Structure 1
Amino acid sequence: MQAVTGAVPLFALPAVALDLETTGLNVDTARIVQVGAVQLCAKAAAAAAPFDRLVNPGLPIPPESAAIHGITDAAVTSAPAVGDLWPDLLAYLSGRVVVGHTIAYDLTVLEREATRHGLLWQRPRSLCIRKLAAIVVPGLHDPSLDKLASWLGIEIDQRHSALGDAKAAGQIYQKMVPLLSERGIRTLAEAERAVLARAPQVEKEAAAGWVATPAPDAEAILASAGQYDTYAYRHAVGDIMARTLLVVGGDTGLREAMKKMAERGASSVLVADPPEGGRPLGAYGILTERDALRRIAADGAAALERPVANMANRPLISIREKAYVYRAISRMRRLKVRHLVVVDDVGDAVGMISARDLLKLRSEPAIALSDAIKEAQSAGDMAVAWAGLAGVVRSLTHEGLDARTTARIVSEELRSMTERAAELALAEMRSEDFGEAPCPFAVMVLGSGGRGESLLKPDQDNAIVFAEGDPDGPQDRWFAELGTRMAAILDQAGIPLCNGGVMAKNPPWRGSAATWRARIEGWVASARPENLLNVDIFFDQAAVFGARRLAHDLFAHAYATGSANPVFAKLLGAKLDRIANPFGFMGRLAGEDGRLDLKLHALFPIVSAARTLAIRHNLPAHTTSERLARLAARGEGDTALLRALADDHAFCLSLILRRQSRALLSGEKLNNEILLSELSRSETNRLRDALKRIQLLPDLVRDLMF
């Protein structure tokens, strides 16, 4: 099990409730006489059986202790010593956060036993339900295990047995999770930070010799992560794929197909009629070297003359041309295949990538994340996977990866989460007799996720386009159900509902292709403020699931419609006349309490200007950097400023992502602000120069508008 990060939501936390029965309360002299533990699993995978062991302490059990837990010297005579059960206990706790009542006592006793017997021990992350209860009910007079259980309606079975108390502690923790969420404590790091803030209790435990477990900060997590090859994060599949597809007709003999593979040095061949590339994925089958050898082994030399049509495997497994290489590695590993057909934005085959191309790349962190999302069977599984993203971003930032690439990786995983939510929602609907989709459809991610520029504080911006059907007709109602279920799954998985309601469950954000075209034309023709906001979100859309061509055609239609109306583009540009000024007295950066909102002062103006001008000149690109590059390539206006703004955008992205990844891992409030005190002198100077250039955007947009 991979290490748990502070970004994991409490409801999906891989945890284990632990309790010890001992010979006394003094941690320096106490010996363990019983260990009880139970794994708590919000994930779909089942927990292991409870851990329940008696321990021979190697010395007499005081009568006053035996009177409480009922464990006598006779009961432990034949029990193992603590060192004998230690490996099993460590394995049971491995990869999990330990929860319990006054858990600092139990962990300190374990630490003392490890020191005493020369055993391996590393303190796990932990949460004390007694301290959490003080957060949920500040006025609770007696937060004992009995009182907490009674308050939450939990009956303790076998009180003062280690397993009985551990089970009760686990149930109390699980019932407190939603209560903590109501108080803004949703993740492990937030809970750790809140617990450590209970200064009086922490001081009492320290006085008793109990060692608290501080939450690891982001730097400690980063230091333990190690370094890895960033090639797979810097390059898209399209950069390394074989662009000329090797295709043979179905009537081609196996001997001839193998000859063509040998001539090209290829390990597979596609089969289609007619034998040509650039067609939809479903037109092809695939025959690999291994398939050919297996057929020859089974049928002998006669197989060489048989046509390959009936030997080819279908359906093919594909990956998008713009996906990063680490996703190709993940898909091959998860599905146990050695070849992927590469498709473009609308699903046509444009290339091939094989395991041979990827053998030397090491990209484990994001591969594990990608695998976990795709294999998720519940919102809880998705939440655990999504929580790993902050650590990946922190590591990639530390490795010096271009921030635009890192933001694209965040977007890739956001899209993957949305895709998986759609798959799980469809599975739910099938199981409840809603049937299959009434017509082809595509799920789209909008806003920064569609641009490929997501930060670590996303919400849901999604939409659905379907082939046919009227508003509130049977097709629309079916897709409303799908959108509602998708939204609920994503919200539970840690991607909150959009405050502005930009979700496919709401009528304005779903519709047939015809409905969407009319909607876009209405936005452009009547440029009211709410329509301009819709344009900001929708004109960045990207398909993530289903019949992607529907979304692709809609994207092209939106840009063509917007470009044909200069008044509309001018109104879009007018929003930039009100750029917030981040400079104060003597030209110093005027952050509030040492903080500066870089999304407000930098990202929003650059993104908005690039989108506005791309619409005006019908340049249907997704990313801000591509839009600015295509505008500069036109050779009009201040091209040097356009290129500089692209660099400024990347720099500001890097500052926000660095701050957000640290905040997520350590339980700080997550927002789009940076701390000016964390910047080096050179970073401060560079930021000041970037923000000065951003103040020139209104003039730049006016110059390039016509």
Structure 2
Amino acid sequence: MSIELYEIEQHMARFEPFSRLPAPLLQAVANAVEISYFKAGEQILTRDQPLEHVCYIRSGAVELYQRDGTTLFNRLGEGDLFGYTDLARKRAVRYPVTAIEDSLIYYIDAATFEQVADECEEFAEFVDVSGRLKHVFEQQRQSSPLLSTKARQLVQMKPLLATASMSLSEAASMMQEQHVTCVLVTEPCDSTLPLAFLDDEDHPVMLVGIVTDRDMCTRVVAEAISPQASLREIMTSRRIITTQASDSAYEAMLKMLDERIQHLPILNGKRPIGVLQLADLLRFETSNNLFLINTILRQPSTEGLVRLSQDVRRDFVSMVEQQSGSDMISRALSLTGRAFVHRLCELAEEQFGPPPVPYAMMVLGSMAREEVTITSDQDNALIIADSYQESLHGDYFKQLAEFVTDHMAECGYAYCSGEIMASNAKWRQPLSVWRHYFSDWIATPTPEHLLESSIFFDLACAHGEESFVQELRELIAQQASSNPRFLAAMARNANNRTPPLGFFRTFVMEQDGAERRSINLKRRGTAPLSDVIRVHALACGSTQQSTLGRLDDIAHTQLVTAEMIKRLRYAFEYLSTLRINHQAAAISQGEAPDNSVEPDTFSRSERHHLREAFETLRDAQKFLGFRYPLKGNRERHS
């Protein structure tokens, strides 16, 4: 190899994505390089020029301009690439490029670039705009056994199926003979129904319920139900929770803990192929947060809950070290918080007596979106049945709310500084009042109402009547999606927190106080991303609560391009991962965790990923204003 080729190879090996290439591919790129020199002020690429090469900056600096040739778009320096996006899409140059310093440019022909991308997946993902972030995120999904194990791999035997008309005594005998603790109940149906599948005798049936050994004891024995009664009389049928065979064991366990069930049917499409038991899953993996959740739900005292709360940070750090992924970690932490709320409600009912009227304790914000981190505080509220009477029931629910919020604070969930808690009488109201709140916020989007919407429109039931919470979700989905003025106001509100990017792709960092020379990843990253995505979700009538779940719903519409959906997903996942890793590192070093990172301490590659994530947020915010314009304002100014 000549000295010149060796120097080219060694220089490119220092920078992404070439540092990812195996030696033979890197040599192939170096051999294909053509070198050009440009003086400061000289144009390198012109608008609409046919593009046959990717450009690599060996030395110097360049500026990219918008199509008009005068509006600055970007500034790049040594080791940066340009032209690859247009080349990949087989289109002419969109952004003219001019040298702002004397610059040495390596040209890599299209055939070589495409060959290397075909042979090296990591290289291909890096040069894809969202692929760079995807690569970083996907690396963290693989190491946990619960994540890599599919639910179908834990199936030990076929499920016991029985018709709803089978007698309890016959079903009990079958369960005893086959050594199973539950039976899945089916009924004949039309084969064209969405949930229909063929049983062992090729008859079309559908799953309508489940009966467990506990049902047999608590209902048949305790309530003296006749053994000749049918399964239909005692089966759980209102809402059957299932999981797909392709789901991970981790997802299955979280679902069981979230729904507080002991048996989970596994479906291959529509057909049940087995039943998972929570006890088996907990024995399979007891070293992480999931075992803690189950223990919380069984804790007999508030003192015990406070002691258990000390394990939350330890298990959080453990999950991060296992590289469980930001989505899984945040979801586990969220379910941990909801488990505390649920158990505290139960303990409150033991202390103050059963509730005089039905109610739901709902959690809000990040806990509802299942995006909690170790620094999250508590946001909650009470929905009470409309039979509520202040004079008769007010003291009970005031005591219950204060019991829950006070003990949540003792368990490490700080009081909400804005008093968005059930202990605040304003957020402890009958369902009819909540309906009025939500309808009024949507109909009259004042600054105060927009703030409340951004908090309360992420809601989930932690204890009690889930139907109350579901009704409010459906009200939001129906009324918000049909109110352009409200959507426009929410869009404008979502653009208030801009990403920390300077004019030349530099980071704009805090200059004063404790966060000096740092960036708050929540305030300037994940929170505004959630706000942007929430607006699109409201527009399409989604009732999903998680940010990623909302993106799934938006993807089925024409509101946002598939490319933007992909970029938003990976930007959110990358920033969430960075935020969680930063907090875990602080805890491991004996420091207080926070959301502020210092980009100056990052590697060049890490700064590149961070910049891309913020650029995605910036682009999404720009689009939001066009997608949901304030038409009334335009009319007044015309």
TM-score of the superposed pair, with normalisation by structure 2 = 0.61
Counterpart Cα distance in 1 of 2:313 and 2:556: 35
In the superposition, relative to structure 1, how do residues 444 and 288 fare at CA in structure 2: closer, same or farther (>3 Å)? closer
1:376-415 per-position Cα deviation (integer Å, ceiling 9, x unaligned): 3444422332232223232322333221121111111111
- Equivalent position of 1:558 in the other structure: 476
Q: Does 1:505 align with 2:462?
A: no
- Equivalent position of 2:457 in the other structure: 539
> Pick from 533, 556, 559: which aligns with 1:610?
533
Give, as a single letter, the amino acid of the residue that structure 2 aligns with 1:408.
Answer: R
What stretches of structure 1 of length at least 5 have no aligned partner?
1-226, 296-304, 344-348, 431-435
In the superposition, relative to structure 1, how do residues 556 and 237 fare at CA in structure 2: closer, same or farther (>3 Å)? farther
Q: Does 1:252 align with 2:167?
A: yes
Counterpart Cα distance in 2 of 1:544 and 1:649: 25
Q: How does 1:21-420 map to 2 (within 5 A)?
A: 230-232=144-146, 246-249=161-164, 252=167, 254-255=169-170, 268-269=182-183, 285-287=211-213, 307=228, 325=249, 340=263, 352-354=275-277, 358=281, 361-420=284-343
In the superposition, relative to structure 1, how do residues 484 and 523 fare at CA in structure 2: closer, same or farther (>3 Å)? same
Alpha-carbon offset, residue 487 of structure 1: 0.8
Counterpart Cα distance in 1 of 2:405 and 2:379: 10
Alpha-carbon offset, residue 331 of structure 1: 11
- Equivalent position of 2:128 in the other structure: none
Give, as a single letter, the amino acid of the residue that structure 2 aligns with 1:519.
Answer: Y
> Pick from 606, 609, 625: which aligns with 1:686?
609
> Pick from 605, 610, 633: which aligns with 2:556?
633
With 656-665 and 540-549 compared, the bigger mean Cα shift is at 656-665
User: Is this contact kept in 1: 2:301–2:347, CA < 8 A?
Assistant: yes
Secondary structure at the counterpart of residue 590 of structure 1? coil
Q: Does 1:619 align with 2:537?
A: no
Give, as a single letter, the amino acid of the residue that structure 1 aligns with 2:371.
Answer: E
- Equivalent position of 1:182 in the other structure: none
> Pick from 570, 584, 593: which aligns with 1:670?
593
User: Is this contact kept in 1: 2:290–2:332, CA < 8 A?
Assistant: no
1:359-390 per-position Cα deviation (integer Å, ceiling 9, x unaligned): 88334222432233223344442233223222
Counterpart Cα distance in 2 of 1:505 and 1:419: 16
Give, as a single letter, the amino acid of the residue that structure 2 aligns with 1:307.
Answer: Q
> Pick from 600, 604, 619: which aligns with 1:696?
619
Q: Does 1:451 align with 2:365?
A: no
User: Is this contact kept in 1: 2:185–2:231, CA < 8 A?
Assistant: no
Give, as a single letter, the amino acid of the residue that structure 2 aligns with 1:571.
Answer: A
Secondary structure at the counterpart of residue 579 of structure 1? coil
1:122-142 per-position Cα deviation (integer Å, ceiling 9, x unaligned): xxxxxxxxxxxxxxxxxxxxx
User: Is this contact kept in 1: 2:188–2:206, CA < 8 A?
Assistant: no
- Equivalent position of 1:46 in the other structure: none
Counterpart Cα distance in 1 of 2:240 and 2:601: 39
What stretches of structure 2 of length at least 5 have no aligned partner?
1-140, 190-204, 267-271, 511-515, 630-638
1:243-275 per-position Cα deviation (integer Å, ceiling 9, x unaligned): 998354475264566569989x96531579999
Secondary structure at the counterpart of residue 442 of structure 1? strand
Alpha-carbon offset, residue 442 of structure 1: 1.2
Secondary structure at the counterpart of residue 695 of structure 1? helix
Alpha-carbon offset, residue 686 of structure 1: 0.4
Counterpart Cα distance in 2 of 1:415 and 1:440: 19
Secondary structure at the counterpart of residue 353 of structure 1? strand
- Equivalent position of 2:98 in the other structure: none
Alpha-carbon offset, residue 457 of structure 1: 1.0
Alpha-carbon offset, residue 324 of structure 1: 8.6
Q: Does 1:489 align with 2:407?
A: yes
Secondary structure at the counterpart of residue 588 of structure 1? coil
- Equivalent position of 2:91 in the other structure: none
With 498-507 and 354-363 compared, the bigger mean Cα shift is at 354-363
- Equivalent position of 1:423 in the other structure: 346
Alpha-carbon offset, residue 666 of structure 1: 3.7
Q: CA RMSD in A?
A: 4.5
User: Is this contact kept in 2: 1:580–1:601, CA < 8 A?
Assistant: yes
1:16-70 per-position Cα deviation (integer Å, ceiling 9, x unaligned): xxxxxxxxxxxxxxxxxxxxxxxxxxxxxxxxxxxxxxxxxxxxxxxxxxxxxxx
> Pick from 584, 588, 591: which aligns with 2:506?
588
User: Is this contact kept in 2: 1:229–1:362, CA < 8 A?
Assistant: no
Alpha-carbon offset, residue 672 of structure 1: 1.5
In the superposition, relative to structure 1, how do residues 320 and 440 fare at CA in structure 2: closer, same or farther (>3 Å)? farther
Secondary structure at the counterpart of residue 383 of structure 2? strand
- Equivalent position of 2:193 in the other structure: none
1:501-556 per-position Cα deviation (integer Å, ceiling 9, x unaligned): 11112122122221111111111112121211111111110111112112112211
Counterpart Cα distance in 2 of 1:236 and 1:391: 26
- Equivalent position of 2:496 in the other structure: 578
1:102-129 per-position Cα deviation (integer Å, ceiling 9, x unaligned): xxxxxxxxxxxxxxxxxxxxxxxxxxxx
Q: Does 1:461 align with 2:379?
A: yes
Give, as a single letter, the amino acid of the residue that structure 1 aligns with 2:383.
Answer: V
- Equivalent position of 1:647 in the other structure: 570
Give, as a single letter, the amino acid of the residue that structure 1 aligns with 2:469.
Answer: A
Percent identity, aligned pairs only?
22
Aligned positions, number: 451
In the superposition, relative to structure 1, how do residues 623 and 327 fare at CA in structure 2: closer, same or farther (>3 Å)? closer
Counterpart Cα distance in 2 of 1:614 and 1:330: 24
Secondary structure at the counterpart of residue 633 of structure 1? coil
- Equivalent position of 2:29 in the other structure: none
Give, as a single letter, the amino acid of the residue that structure 1 aligns with 2:428.
Answer: R
In the superposition, relative to structure 1, how do residues 695 and 443 fare at CA in structure 2: closer, same or farther (>3 Å)? same
Give, as a single letter, the amino acid of the residue that structure 2 aligns with 1:459.
Answer: D
TM-score of the superposed pair, with normalisation by structure 1 = 0.55
Secondary structure at the counterpart of residue 501 of structure 1? coil
Alpha-carbon offset, residue 439 of structure 1: 1.6
- Structure possessing the higher relative contact order (Cα contacts under 8 Å, 6 or more residues apart): 1
